[in-house]
Amino acid sequence: MASARKQLSGWGRYPVQECITWRPEKASGLYLATPMISRGQGRSYGDAALNENGNVVLTERVNRFLQFDHETGKLRAEAGVTLAEIIDVCLPKGWFLPVTPGTKFVSLGGCIAADVHGKNHHRDGAFSSAVESFSLIIADGSVLNCSRSENSDVFRATIGGMGLTGVIRDVSFNLRPVESAHVMAQHQQAADLEQAFALLADDATVNDYTVAWIDCLARGRHLGRSVVMHGRHAASDELPAGKSPFDIGARKSRSLPMDFPSFALNSVSVSLFNAVYYRREGRKQKPFVTDIDRYFYPLDSIHHWNRLYGKRGFVQYQCVLPTDTAFEGIEHILEQLSASRRASFLAVLKRLGPESGGLLSFPMAGYTLALDLPVRGKDLFALLDRLDEIVIKAGGRVYLAKDARLGRDSFEAMYPRVSEWRAVKQRIDPDNHFDSSMARRLGLINA
Amino acid sequence: MSSEPKKILILGATSAMARGTAAAFATRGDSLYLAGRDVAELDRLASDLSVRYSVTVHHGEVDIADCDSHAAFVSRVTSELGGIDGVVLAAGYMADQADAAADFALVEKMVAVNYLGAMSVLDQCANLLATAGAGFIVGISSVAGDRGRQSNYYYGSAKAGLTAYLSGLRNRLSGQGVQVLTVKPGFVDTAMTYGLEGMFLVASPEDVGRQIVRAVEKRRNTVYLPWFWRYIMLIIRHIPEFLFKRLKL
């Protein structure tokens, strides 16, 4: 197998590092005898799937479906399979993903390594909650079967473990039955943060899927104004006559052909957009039918949307704060942000349910806020450090799958179970065969 | 879309190009028999194709270089598939030119797989299809067989042999309703080319697979994939030898 040196980055396009890439065609080629990290679709934002001057094994071609039971919805597949492929194959048979992040262009392995969550986390937990088992290629090249009953410590260390315990080879998990490829959606306007929290916490209105888009440039009494978006899978008899339940047609996709100039997104253009969006989307207060692609993956129709943030890229800052401290903490974060007049084009607020048991998993019961911030101006990283302090004080954490800049001490403070994780890592990979730029930055591995 | 599902044998089924071709046939609803040496991988591929396309996929072991085993192998495939309507020969082996120059065993292996073994297994299939009076044989050769170049001439000469064999086979079978298609891929994005310098206009294996199926449906004789390689090779073939011998190719 031949390798290629490439300048690689995550989805945020910051940082960019030179890595030695390998692209096996089959599962037997996933393991290298020298230190490595695996990389699926490269949709983590920072340096999780980078290994500066080291090996990066691309899993994109190791994407075989191994078994699909139409009756039970149980699927076994190689970890390089993407969620988009699963939807293509399984949705026409009445099965959808149990949990999905905001893009379907991610690999199964990545979903486990980052223990991704979706708009239904408050009800159904993170991606790992639907995972029955997976096989893991560990440091010596042998294969370990991992589940809640077999090698359970490795299972828990691999969920959210950012690829550092081994290479996930095959995954067995359960899909969710749906009657259609359509979604019944409904929006509510929240005039400020307090109202947004109230709407997200209200179990009477909260649906299978609930998330709030938040205008993070709004200040003063409008601070935290939001559109709360609910959704649930539509039953086949709810669809307008003549609509076939699983046929949503091919969606037109476009591609951003080039980098936007870095000034394109500024506080003026974004607050203008936000004002319009708040009114337009906030008006949809009666239930309406939309489809799975439009509802879950609005940005997937624009390939390379990350070019929107210019050549220098962007960072996504996503944190979760426990229920008790969340309101005060997020209010504080939004104040800092709007005072800095930094425009986050996308800002999302969501309630999360209990932890999954993954030792480095991100979600915890509370509220999560996600912000996209272009890499621009030298005070950006100082601002994010200040946000870290707020998050730590509140007992929360930031999401490693989005992270490109967190410091070691902050990381230790945010992830109290890292010592348990290190014990597993030490046992199955004492020589750090699996290593990444993120692991070195955060001190996840012993140097 | 063809009228009824065909039964297709794919030799060397674990390569990326073979996978792309198998997927394109499976999309039409054809039944497949995947053959190769890596049985564990054949098993995975067979599951993948049957889950994705809801078609019947068999698989079994064959070593293209082991000519003595081919008669029994083809009769086993025939009974498992219930007949053979088409054959795709995708098995191939390329060693680095410099390595081969230093170790003649690599040259022998290239000839054994790309040329001798290919003739042996295709002869068996050809007899079967000729008796039935219908069907097709696709042989994946290479642009490297069109003219010997110093950077790749052991592999290239084995493929040149294959190309000539396929052309003779086509001549023999044309009166008996059997199509023989010679495929000459240029740069395809596979393990063979990943990371190599000087690659340009690389085609995806899925795309090449679809074009192979299209060429079968159109009953073509020889196709270059992607199509513009026909013109690149036209030029390369017509460079006068006194000039060609001095080029660094």
CA dist., res. A50 & res. A32, Å (int): 16
Q: What is the CATH number of the domain that holds A135?
A: 3.30.465.10
Answer whether B47 touches A (CB < 8 Å): yes
- For A341-355, A398-412, B42-56, B89-103, which range has the lowest pLDDT when averaged over its residues? A341-355
Whether residues A211 and A347 fall in one domain? yes
Q: Which residues of B touch A82 (CB under 8 A)?
A: none
Whether residues A289 and A236 fall in one domain? yes
Q: What pLDDT is recorded for position A419?
A: 96
CB nearest to A66's CB, from B14, B44, B194: B44
Whether residues A173 and A201 fall in one domain? no
CA dist., res. A143 & res. A30, Å (int): 11
> What percentage of residues in chain B have a pLDDT greater than 70?
99
Mutant choice from B14, B42, B51 vs A, greatest count of A C-beta within 10 A:
B51
User: What distance lies between CA A79 and its chain's CA centroid?
Assistant: 16
- For A49-58, B16-25, B224-233, which range has the lowest pLDDT when averaged over its residues? B224-233
Whether residues A169 and A154 fall in one domain? yes
Contact assignment for A27 to B41 by CB distance below 8 Å: yes
Of A178, A211, A235, at which residue does a domain stop? A178
Question: DSSP E strands: which ranges in A308-375?
Answer: 314-322, 347-352, 366-374
> Mean pLDDT score of chain A, rounded to an integer?
92
Whether residues A233 and A88 fall in one domain? no
Q: Which residues of A touch B96 (CB under 8 A)?
A: none
Question: DSSP E strands: which ranges in A92-219?
Answer: 95-96, 131-137, 143-147, 167-174, 176-177, 182-190, 209-214
Contact assignment for A64 to B44 by CB distance below 8 Å: yes
Of A120, A153, A178, at which residue does a domain stop? A178
Average pLDDT over residues B187-214: 88
Q: What pLDDT is recorded for position B1?
A: 45
CB nearest to B191's CB, from A25, A27, A67: A25
Q: Which residue has the higher pLDDT, A215 or B139?
A: B139
Pick the closest to residue B224 from B200, B238, B208 (CA basis).
B208
pLDDT bracket for residue B2 (50, 70, 90): very low
CB nearest to B44's CB, from A1, A4, A27: A27
Size of interface A-B (CB pairs under 8 A): 46
Q: What pLDDT is recorded for position A310?
A: 80
Note the pTM of the prediction, 2 decimals.
0.94
- Give the count of domains, chain A: 2
Contact assignment for A64 to B15 by CB distance below 8 Å: no
CB nearest to B51's CB, from A1, A4, A89: A89
> How many angstroms separate the CA of residue A339 from the nearest CA in chain B?
48
Whether residues A218 and A350 fall in one domain? yes
- Cα separations in angstroms, B77 against A165, A269, A344, B167, B216: 42, 65, 61, 25, 21
Q: Which residue has the higher pLDDT, B123 or B201?
A: B123
Contact assignment for B45 to A64 by CB distance below 8 Å: yes
A297 has a pLDDT exceeding 50: yes
- What is the tens place of the pLDDT at every residue in A344-397? 777 899 999 999 899 999 999 999 999 988 888 778 999 999 999 999 999 999
Q: Return the bridge partners of A321, or none.
A: A367
Of A133, A151, A178, at which residue does a domain stop? A178
Residue in B with minimal Cα distance to A4: B195
CB A10 within 8 A of CB A42: yes
Q: Which residues of A touch B51 (CB under 8 A)?
A: 65-68, 89
Residue A224 domain-assigned (yes or no): yes
Average pLDDT over residues A61-70: 98
- For A159-173, A307-321, A348-362, B205-219, which range has the lowest pLDDT when averaged over its residues? A307-321
Whether residues A81 and A229 fall in one domain? no
Mutant choice from A6, A20, A56, A65 vs B, greatest count of B C-beta within 10 A:
A65
Domain that holds residue A154: 65-178
Q: Which residue has the higher pLDDT, A350 or A341?
A: A350
CA dist., res. A323 & res. A246, Å (int): 38
Answer whether B16 touches A (CB < 8 Å): yes
Q: What is the CATH number of the domain that holds A365?
A: 3.30.70.2520
Residue A31 domain-assigned (yes or no): no
> What's the one-letter identity of residue A193?
L
Q: Which residues of A touch B191 (CB under 8 A)?
A: 1-2, 23-25
Residue A231 domain-assigned (yes or no): yes
CB nearest to A23's CB, from B40, B44, B194: B194
Average pLDDT over residues A31-60: 97
> How many angstroms separate the CA of residue B199 from the nearest CA in chain A?
12
> How many angstroms separate the CA of residue A168 from the nearest CA in chain B?
16
Whether residues A141 and A203 fall in one domain? no
In degrees, rounded to 5, the angle at the alpha carbon of residue A108 between the alpha carbons of residues A107 and A111 is 90
Residue A8 domain-assigned (yes or no): no
Whether residues A345 and A373 fall in one domain? yes
CB A39 within 8 A of CB A113: no
Contact assignment for B41 to A2 by CB distance below 8 Å: no
Q: Classify residue A136 by its DSSP letter.
A: E
Coil, strand or helix at A387: helix
A212 has a pLDDT exceeding 60: yes
Q: What pLDDT is recorded for position A179?
A: 95
CB B232 within 8 A of CB B249: no
Contact assignment for B191 to A68 by CB distance below 8 Å: no
Whether residues A160 and A231 fall in one domain? no
Contact assignment for A66 to B38 by CB distance below 8 Å: no
Contact assignment for B16 to A66 by CB distance below 8 Å: no
- CATH number for B7-244 (one of 3.40.50.720, 3.40.50.920, 3.40.50.10490, 3.40.1000.10): it is 3.40.50.720
> How many angstroms separate the CA of residue B15 from the nearest CA in chain A?
8
> Mean pLDDT score of chain B, rounded to an integer?
95
Average pLDDT over residues A256-265: 74
Contact assignment for B51 to A27 by CB distance below 8 Å: no
- What is the tens place of the pLDDT at every residue in A394-442? 999 999 999 999 999 999 999 999 999 999 999 999 999 999 999 999 9
CB A123 within 8 A of CB A321: no
Contact assignment for B194 to A78 by CB distance below 8 Å: no
CB nearest to B52's CB, from A27, A67, A89: A89
Average pLDDT over residues B183-197: 87
Whether residues A256 and A133 fall in one domain? no
- Starting at the edge strand found earlier in the chain, the sheet holding A347-352 runs A288-291, A182-190, A226-233, A209-214, A347-352, A366-374, A314-322, A397-398
- What is the tens place of the pLDDT at every residue in A89-130? 999 999 999 999 999 999 999 999 999 999 999 999 999 999
Contact assignment for B38 to A28 by CB distance below 8 Å: yes
Mutant choice from B194, B199, B202, B204 vs A, greatest count of A C-beta within 10 A:
B194
Among all residues of B, which ones are annotated catalytic? 155
Whether residues A168 and A255 fall in one domain? no
Q: What pLDDT is recorded for position A447?
A: 56
CB nearest to B195's CB, from A4, A67, A78: A4
ipTM higher than the 0.85 cut:
yes
